[in-house]
Amino acid sequence: MSEIVFQQGYADQYDLFYGDKDYEAECDLLEQAFNRYGTEPVRSILDLGCGTGNHSIPLARRGYQVNGVDLSENMLAHAVEKAGKEALNPAPIFTQGDVCNVNLGKQFDVVLMMFAVLGYQLSNEAVLASLLNVRNHLKPGGLFIFDVWYGPAVLAIRPSDRVKIIPTRDGKVIRAASGSLDTRHQLGDVRYHIWRLSGDRVINETEESHAMRFFFAMELELLLASCGLKLESLTAFPSLEKPADETSWNVLGVAKA
C-alpha cells in the first residue's frame, strides 16, 4: 500500500492545477486505443486511481459503465460531487480502495491507470501487486491502459523547478514544484508548496511531497508479462503513434490480458 498523498489541501486544488489538461482529448485517445487493440466492444471500465473523476465522468457521459477507485477520500469526494451534478446513466460508481488489493468482485473490458498512478507504486512488490490486481479485474483479452514517467527521458531531461500561478475569483493560487532524483530506486521526488491568496493575503498554505517511480520499456514488458499482461504498445503520451524515446517524459502503454 502506498503512502497516502492527495490530502485535502492538494486535492481541493487538483482540478484548478490541471485545468489545462485536456481530459476530453485523453478520452478520445482512450477510445482510439479501444478500437485499435480491443478484441471485443468496450462496455465496462475500471479507472484505478481515478482521482477527481476526470476520466471516469466523461467516459460515463459517453455511455460506458465506469467504476472508479482511489485511495484518497479527498479526491473521491470531488469525483462524487462532480458526478452527482449530472444525470449520468449509468452513473459512475466510486469506491475507496488501494490499487494493490481492492477487490470489486468482477471483471472489466478495460482497466485504466491514468496520469502516473502506477508510478505512485514505488516498490517492486507494490508494482507487481497492482499489476496482478489489474489482471484479476480484466476479462481475457481485456485492455490495460496507463501512462507513466519514462526512465530514458527522466534521466536525459532531469526534473526542474517550476512555478504555476492560477488566477481564482478572489486572488490566485501559486504552486511551486521542485524535483530531485533517486536513480538507484528509479524515483523522482516532487515537492509541492502551495499558497492560496485572497487579494494579496495568504489564506492557506500546504506542502506535499510526491515520490514517483519511473520505468523503462523492457522492465515494463517483464513486469506486465509476469502478471499475465502483454505490452502491445508504448508511445509518447498523448500519442498512440509516436514511439517512446528520451524526449518522452510521459509514455502511454497499452497491454492486453
Ligand X SMILES: C[S@@+](CC[C@H](N)C(=O)[O-])C[C@H]1O[C@@H](n2cnc3c(N)ncnc32)[C@H](O)[C@@H]1O
Nearer of residues 148 and 173 to ligand X, judged by Cβ: 148
Pick from 99, 153, 194, 227 the residue near ligand X by CB under 6 A.
99
Instruction: State phi, psi for 200 to the nearest 5 degrees.
Output: -100, 5
Cell numbers describing residue 233: 504498445
Pattern 39-78, ligand X, x by CB under 6 A: ----------xxx--xx--------------xxx--x---
State in Å, rounded, how far the first CA of the chain is from the last one.
23
How far apart are alpha carbons 253 and 144 in whole angstroms? 8
| Closest among 173, 161, 143 to 47, alpha carbons compared | 143
Q: How many residues bind ligand X (CB under 6 A)?
A: 19
Return the bridge partners of 186, or none: none
How far apart are alpha carbons 113 and 198 in whole angstroms? 35
13 binds ligand X (CB under 6 A): no
Pick from 10, 34, 115, 192 the residue near ligand X by CB under 6 A.
115
Nearer of residues 212 and 236 to ligand X, judged by Cβ: 212
Stretch in the footprint of ligand X (CB under 6 A) among 85-93, 103-111, 115-123, 187-195: 115-123
Pick from 64, 108, 120, 237 the residue near ligand X by CB under 6 A.
120
Q: Residue 46 in contact with residue 111, Cβ under 8 Å?
A: yes
| Region of residue 53 (phi > 0: left; psi between -120 and 50: alpha; otherwise: beta) | left
Pick from 29, 66, 83, 100 the residue near ligand X by CB under 6 A.
100
| Contacting positions for ligand X (CB under 6 A) | 2, 6, 49-51, 54-55, 70-72, 75, 98-100, 114-117, 120
